[in-house]
């Protein structure tokens, strides 16, 4: 028995070590950026020769980066309400409703996730050319909303699937109108899914580049797009700074939201 236990512990240790390796692999490229962002020189050599906030100052005083930060922030403010309203209504209808074609619409709602991103990007590029939305903020707003919508639908569907119909029925029998029932009973019950969906939409919009790279232009360079073009031409610690700021923004949004909803269950 003792031998089996030792053997068991060995296997466990091996598995744990493998898992640690995987976690390290996941973290390594992100950690390297955070550390490089404090480099005092123009070199991206790792590890940096010292620590300074020089590049933070440089990024925060650069008009180009500030314009991009404003644009990215503005897009989040547009994309989150759009996708949350459309996605919440749809998730509720898909889980609680009963109508012909329900399964088909559910497949449609999640299909942007399964279609290769380059196709969505090319489709929007050609379409936006026709309607004059290339290199415009409304164009990016619609494109980001399209990419983020399936995440919101899926997150709210998790909450809506476990919805207890009793409170809604009670409110209806007490004379509340359908709208009032939805706003005052249903929505609060769906709150965890809605918050998770809103976070995913915000994070998706903040990081979106596959579709934006084709439909944006010189006047609509979001933060990730500016990193995208900068990485292709030069490497200096300012991009590490921006990456670190972008990551921090996402983590803050996530941690704050996690206090209200279990994001982990909505993925």
For other proteins, the binding residues in 14-33 under the rule CB under 8 A are 15-16, 18-19, 21-23, 25-30, 32-33
Q: Pick from 59, 156, 190, 203 the residue near other proteins by CB under 8 A.
A: 203
C-beta of 53: minimal distance to other proteins in Å?
Answer: 19
Q: Which residues are within 8 A (CB) of 264 and not within 5 positions of it... i.e. 6 or more apart?
A: 258
**Contact by Cβ (8 Å): 59, 242:** yes
Indicate whether 1 belongs to the interface with other proteins (CB under 8 A).
no
Q: Which residues are within 8 A (CB) of 128 and not within 5 positions of it... i.e. 6 or more apart?
A: 134, 139, 143, 215
Indicate whether 134 belongs to the interface with other proteins (CB under 8 A).
no
Q: Is 132 left (phi over 0), alpha (psi -120 to 50) or beta?
A: left
Provide the token pair at 201: 């939409």
Report the candidate in 248, 233, 153 with the shortest Cα–Cα distance to residue 196.
153
Q: Pick from 67, 176, 189, 247 the residue near other proteins by CB under 8 A.
A: 247
C-beta of 66: minimal distance to other proteins in Å?
Answer: 18
Size of the site for other proteins (CB under 8 A): 89
Q: Give the CA distances from residue 121 to residues 17, 110, 263, in Å, rounded to whole numbers and listed in that order.
A: 40, 16, 28
Q: In whole angstroms, what is the distance from residue 208 CA to residue 201 CA?
A: 10
Q: Pick from 71, 76, 206, 257 the residue near other proteins by CB under 8 A.
A: 206
Map residues 71-110 to x or -, x wherever contact with other proteins holds by CB under 8 A: --------------xxx-xx-xxx-xxxxx----x--xx-
Map residues 141-160 to x or -, x wherever contact with other proteins holds by CB under 8 A: -xx-xx--x---x-------
Stated length of the chain: 267
C-beta of 150: minimal distance to other proteins in Å?
Answer: 9
Provide the token pair at 68: 């991009």
Nearer to other proteins, 60 or 210 (CB): 210
Report the candidate in 87, 62, 249 with the shortest Cα–Cα distance to residue 159.
87
The interface with other proteins within residues 211-240 (CB under 8 A) comprises 213-214, 223-225, 227-228, 231-232, 235, 239-240
C-beta of 44: minimal distance to other proteins in Å?
Answer: 6
């Amino acid at each position: 028995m003792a031998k089996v236990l030792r053997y068991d512990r060995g296997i466990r240790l091996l598995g744990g070590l493998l898992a640690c390796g995987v976690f390290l692999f996941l973290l390594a490229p992100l950690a390297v950026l955070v550390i490089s962002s404090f480099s005092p020189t123009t070199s991206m050599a790792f590890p940096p020769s010292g620590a300074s906030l020089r590049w933070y100052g440089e990024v925060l005083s650069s008009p180009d980066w500030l314009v991009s930060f404003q644009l990215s922030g503005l897009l989040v403010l547009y994309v989150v309400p759009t996708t949350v309203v459309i996605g919440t209504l749809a998730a509720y209808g898909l889980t609680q409703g009963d109508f012909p074609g329900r399964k088909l619409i559910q497949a449609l709602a999640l299909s942007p996730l399964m279609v290769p991103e380059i196709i969505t990007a090319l489709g929007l590029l050609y379409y936006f050319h026709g309607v004059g939305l290339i290199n415009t903020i409304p164009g990016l707003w619609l494109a980001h909303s399209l990419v983020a919508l399936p995440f919101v639908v899926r997150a709210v569907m998790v909450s809506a699937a476990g919805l207890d119909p009793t409170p809604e029925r009670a409110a209806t029998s007490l004379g509340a109108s359908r709208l009032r029932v939805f706003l005052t009973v249903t929505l609060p019950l769906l709150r965890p899914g809605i918050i998770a969906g809103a976070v995913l939409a915000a994070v998706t919009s903040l990081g979106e580049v596959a579709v934006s790279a084709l439909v944006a232009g010189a006047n609509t360079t979001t933060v990730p797009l500016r990193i995208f073009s900068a990485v292709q031409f030069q490497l200096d610690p300012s991009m590490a700074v921006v990456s670190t700021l972008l990551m921090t923004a996402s983590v803050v949004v996530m941690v704050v939201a996690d206090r209200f909803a279990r994001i982990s269950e909505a993925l």
